[in-house]
A and B are shown apart, each in its own frame.
Chain A
Amino acid sequence: MRSEAGKGLTLISPTLVYALLLLAAPLVSIVLLSFWTQNFLTIERVFTTGNYAEALTDPLYRELMLRSLRISGMVTLLTVALAFPVAYYISFHVRPDRKSLWLFLITIPFWTSYLIRVFLWRVILAYDGPVNSGLMAVGLIDEPLSWILYNANAVVITLAHAFAPFAILPIFVSLEKIDRSLLEASRDLGESKAMTFLRVTLPLAMPGVLAAVLIVFIPTVGDYVTPRLVGGSGGTMIANMIYAQIFDLNDRPMGATLAVLAMMIVAMVLLWGISRLRFWLWLADRAGGGVKGMAVALAAALAEIVALRALFVLGPALLVAGAGVIVLLALATAGSILIFLRLPKGRWGI
């Protein structure tokens, strides 16, 4: 009889081979392509980093990349902040036999045509749409609001709505896992309801919150439909540029470069965010916790963000343009790796 490991590997091999052929191989090939150039219709197979230099220095690509990160960041913040109370309500206040009904109700909109849901927001927010015509009929506004459609705000609203269920499920799962006797213990030992939430519930729910952040942030950075339908020119994101490079400008290597860069930058931003969060939480505990600890951690966080921002704005001028960005990203990543290696996972589960 074959070993258990052998059986398991044999059984999973069809799925694995499929994923290797259709996911790994294509991903490797876009990385390869990003180092080549396109000369009208033929691909020049000479290794060059020119695409990356162009992508990192061209102000248009930079602006689109930063805007994508900014929009996704806001969407993530909004989605998770609104989802947490709902997940908490379902886990702690809904009768156990009703929980699955609630979850089902929340997931239904997620499964119904993404395209139509996004398009409906264009209808809703339109100049002569229900929101404007409704508000005017009631007499709250005299003329249609112009800041709600064809800009970044509209993209944020629409994406936050589309990704809402994604955020609720992981938070709900981590809240369900919390041993309720821990909360009782905290109350018995004299902590108030609010402090019990802050010191017991929230840290234990953190892995779910983190999962929600990842599940919302990563796909929204690469969203194509929403910016196209409701974004206008001010809400265009990196995926639209990738599409334009491949189909309209016929520069596949540049499209591949932007896609690879987008993935790498998202990975780096998440690495930075998660590692710094671990560091700041550790700092807060080291400084004695409570208000004082929070102030110290907040000061450290602000200091690093301001410093990074200044370096990012000044960097290209001080160093060679493309190289400056790379040096900066390398430094931030090295810091993240250092934190992950030196600091163990804290009680917040991050």
Chain B
Amino acid sequence: MKLTPLTVFAGLYLLVLYAPIALLPLFAFNDGTVIAFPLQGFTLQWFAALLDTPALHEATLNSLIIAVSTSVFATILGLFAARAATRYNFPAKGGIVGFIMLPLVLPEVIVAISLLIVLMQLGLDSGTWSIIAGHTLICTPFAIAILQGSFSNMDRSLEEAAVDLGETPWSTFRLITLPLVTPGIIASLLICFTISLDEFIIAFFLSGNEPTLPVYLWGQLRFPARLPVVMALGTILVILSVLLLVLAETFRRRGLKRAGLKDTGGFL
């Protein structure tokens, strides 16, 4: 590879992009309560402290319940919309799909406070179920984006052949379409899970007294003495996210290969 100014710039850009995350493990294993250089030595005590914090375990369980439900709901809603958008032409298609994709660009604060105000006005208690509802809303566009890719990569003649050979529309979908888009479905489940697990604003506005992991983390940020523990937790979360993403990317590529296409880019 030639070393042009552009190459150097791109390399530096990547470096700066990763620099903050690289600090996480440094301070998570650092044997000192102050987050500053020079490092003090190696310790595992901050990770050990994570194990005996019951509030953290509750928050983690909450987050997992929310993330799993969200990923399932958002992927199902995404399947409907992505299938409709790639297979059929219908009136106001652009407007309808655009509206469903709106949460992608709308500031999360707006989504969060409008949901909160509706709940307050209806006199309902916010809680885990309302966070699931909100997360499903913001994850659906991502699910649609991924699934639309899978559906449009699929060779339509395969479905037509199945119908010609006497399969019903439902059995065609089950036997032909579904297996072909399965990698997309798995990628969508994983991505929605990751987004929901990380999402803070909606959870913060709607959590009431059942914090999710990010909301719990937010509460801890106020206490300087807890910072190394936060760093340890952050390290685990980042590693988890990266693993999930690599898995999602693997499935996406497998889907592309199954459809016999060349890889052209990332998720979005």
Contact = CB atoms under 8 A, between A and B. Distances in A.
A112 B201 CA distance: 15
A221 B105 CA distance: 11
Interface string A13-43: 1111011001111110110010000000001
Nearest to A134: B37
Contact of A246 (B34, B35, B99, B116): B116
Contact of B78 (A15, A30, A100, A225): A15
Nearest to B102: A23
The secondary structure that dominates the B interface is helix
Contact of B36 (A7, A93, A111, A130): A130
Contact of A27 (B87, B108, B114): B114
A23 B140 CA distance: 12
A242 B90 contact: no
The size class of the interface chain A forms with chain B is 35 or more
Given A218-B106, A239-B107, A12 B90 contact: yes
B192 to A, nearest CB: 11
B10 A11 contact: no
B265 interface: yes
Contacts of B245: 104, 107-108, 111
Contacts of A165: 17
Contacts of B201: 224-225
B51 interface: no
B265 A113 contact: no
A206 B23 CA distance: 36
Interface in A83-104: 85-86, 88-90, 93, 97, 99-100, 103-104
B257 to A, nearest CB: 12
A100 B265 contact: yes
Interface of A: 4-9, 11-16, 18-19, 22-27, 29-30, 33, 43, 82, 85-86, 88-90, 93, 97, 99-100, 103-109, 111-117, 119-121, 123-124, 126, 128-130, 133-134, 137, 161, 164-165, 169, 172-173, 176, 214-215, 218-219, 221-225, 229, 239, 242-243, 246, 252, 255-256, 259, 262-263
Interface of B: 4, 6-7, 9-10, 13-14, 16-21, 23-24, 27, 34-38, 77-78, 80-81, 83-85, 87-91, 93, 96-97, 99-100, 102-103, 105-111, 113-118, 120-121, 133-134, 136-137, 140, 144, 191, 194-195, 198, 200-201, 205, 214, 217-218, 221, 227, 230, 234, 237-238, 241-242, 245, 249, 253, 263-268
26 contacts: A4-B88, A7-B90, A11-B83, A15-B78, A16-B96, A18-B136, A19-B137, A23-B102, A26-B114, A29-B114, A30-B117, A33-B117, A43-B121, A97-B263, A100-B266, A107-B266, A112-B238, A116-B238, A119-B221, A161-B20, A169-B268, A172-B265, A173-B265, A215-B105, A222-B108, A252-B120
Given A19-B137, A22-B133, A89-B7, 14 more contacts: A4-B88, A11-B88, A18-B140, A23-B137, A85-B9, A107-B245, A112-B21, A113-B234, A116-B234, A120-B234, A123-B23, A169-B266, A218-B106, A219-B106
